[in-house]
């Protein structure tokens, strides 16, 4: 491990502007946030943010040029910018639609105040961190802030060595011949008839589309612990996980909006896969690094299919793909194809599913009540996705989409269907 290393091919799509023809990931931010009832001290917030950058060298990194390509280099000190302002939901929407200046810091923060409610938002360059490690950062921030508020002086444990890029680490696990064979498969492209059905892009060209500050939308369905436990029990009774059940609910709900109104349609569910859990030994969540890739699951879905059956089919396919190590192999093959000038087709998914898992409630100072927490990441051209998570024992179903591409009416219908379906399951 070193304080300077090359930007890896996997990381480069987040740090290299390829223009309109490239993926929409250049300088993409990812956000996590907590909303509490109580007043926060901006000075202590600033100190807690500084502790994060001391502890995690990726947050102090900068991208520099070299004769062999861009490098990530750890700076000695970084002071993450903190913007404090009044505002509630509208202010939060503006934040998650912003694109920070990453030259100053890979971590930016906002402190939003709306009456007695305070909201801390952390924004991190997606090239250096994924959503899983961001939630660990949020936990660490609040642990530091709570200790500072109690008068303690915690030590962040300064680190200077950058973690190895995930694709660099994975490349040692697979023979070149195996990856080369997959490159040939990618070069052929999928048969035209396999293109999955997707929601119509009704938002494109709309005269009433929202301003830039409201382009990326986050709609939440949050359930109390009792309802959450009832949904978990309903999933178990059907022999599936909550994530698989929600996958089936989403795909069948989307199918009802697609023509023709009867019969099966090919659909593809896009799953996020955390590659840190695929290593031996696993990388801990405390390793701030981007380790998320995608996995596409093809299904045939009819309007009258039972959601739990679709979810079960998806789960079986995902399990088989993970056993084959498809996420790792196809990621490495796509990167190698790109290095050889082979234009691998961009995956087309009907809907994305992001399974965050169970995230425990983070600490807050005495006299402060934790109201909610969550996260989001979006960019132009990305398909809509549903986030599934349990935050502090409360189930969160979160729909994220680009409202310049997909209409609010489409998404409201989907969320309404999901709300009714989950309420029925919880009875």
HSE on the CB side for 41, CA within 13 Å? 15
Question: What are the Cα distances from residue 133, in Å, to 36, 158, 290, 401?
Answer: 21, 18, 8, 22
Alpha-carbon distance of 73 to 2, in angstroms, equals 9
Tell me the average pLDDT across 97-120.
96
Torsion, Cα of 305, 307, 309, 315 (10° steps)? 130
Within 112-224, residue ranges assigned H as helices are: 131-149, 166-171, 176-188
The residues spanned by each domain of the chain are 4-149, 166-425
Are 144 and 49 in contact by the 8 Å Cβ rule? The answer is no
340-385: per-residue pLDDT in tens? 998 877 788 999 999 888 899 999 999 999 999 999 999 988 899 9
Report strand pairing: 351-359 vs 385-391.
Answer: parallel
Under DSSP, is residue 345 helix (H, G, I), strand (E, B) or coil?
coil
Task: Express the helix, strand and coil content of the chain in percent, nearest 5 each.
Answer: 35, 25, 40
110-125: per-residue pLDDT in tens? 999 999 999 999 999 9
**For 275-368, where are the E strands, in sequence order?**
292-301, 351-359
154-166: per-residue pLDDT in tens? 988 899 999 999 9
Same fold: 4-149 with 166-425:
yes
Q: How high is the pLDDT of residue 188?
A: 86
- Does domain 4-149 bear CATH number 3.40.50.620? no
Domain 166-425, CATH among 3.40.50.920, 3.30.559.30, 2.30.30.50, 3.40.50.300: 3.30.559.30
Report strand pairing: 394-402 vs 216-222.
Answer: antiparallel
């Amino acid at each position: 491990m070193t304080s300077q290393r090359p930007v890896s091919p996997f990381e480069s799509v987040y740090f290299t502007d390829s223009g309109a023809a490239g993926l929409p990931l250049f300088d993409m931010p990812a956000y996590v946030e907590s909303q509490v009832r109580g007043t926060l001290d901006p000075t202590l917030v600033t100190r807690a943010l500084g502790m994060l950058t001391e502890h995690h060298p990726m947050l102090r990194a900068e991208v520099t040029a070299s004769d062999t390509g861009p490098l990530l280099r750890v700076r000695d000190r970084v002071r993450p910018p903190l913007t404090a302002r009044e505002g509630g939901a509208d202010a939060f929407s503006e934040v998650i639609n912003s694109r920070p200046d990453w030259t100053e810091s890979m971590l930016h923060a906002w402190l939003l105040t709306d009456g007695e409610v305070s909201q801390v938002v952390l924004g991190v360059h997606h090239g250096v961190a994924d959503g899983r490690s961001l939630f660990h950062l949020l936990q660490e921030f609040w642990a530091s802030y709570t200790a500072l508020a109690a008068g303690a002086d915690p030590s962040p444990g300064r680190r200077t060595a950058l973690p190895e890029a995930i694709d660099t680490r994975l490349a040692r696990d697979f023979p070149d011949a195996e990856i080369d064979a997959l490159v040939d498969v990618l070069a052929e492209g999928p048969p035209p008839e396999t293109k999955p059905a997707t929601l119509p892009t009704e938002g494109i060209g709309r005269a009433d589309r929202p301003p830039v500050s409201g382009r990326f939308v986050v709609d939440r369905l949050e359930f109390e612990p009792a309802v959450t436990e009832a949904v978990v029990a309903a999933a178990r009774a059907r022999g599936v996980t909550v994530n698989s059940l929600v996958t089936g609910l989403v795909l069948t709900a989307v199918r009802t909006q697609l023509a023709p109104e009867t019969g099966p349609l090919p659909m593809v569910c896009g799953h996020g896969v955390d590659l840190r859990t695929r290593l031996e030994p696993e990388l801990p969540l405390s390793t701030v690094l981007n380790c998320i890739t995608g996995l596409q699951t093809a299904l045939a879905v009819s309007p009258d299919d039972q959601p739990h059956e679709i979810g079960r089919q998806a789960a079986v396919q995902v399990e088989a793909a993970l056993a084959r190590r498809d996420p790792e192999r196809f990621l490495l093959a796509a990167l190698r194809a790109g290095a050889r000038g082979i234009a691998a087709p961009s995956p087309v998914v009907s809907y994305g599913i992001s399974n965050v898992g169970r995230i425990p409630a983070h600490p807050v100072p005495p006299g402060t009540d934790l109201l909610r927490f969550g996260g989001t990441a979006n960019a132009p051209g990305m398909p809509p996705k549903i986030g599934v998570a349990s935050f502090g024992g409360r189930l969160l179903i979160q729909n994220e989409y680009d409202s310049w591409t997909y209409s609010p009416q489409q998404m409201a219908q989907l969320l309404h269907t999901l709300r009714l379906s989950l309420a029925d399951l919880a009875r």
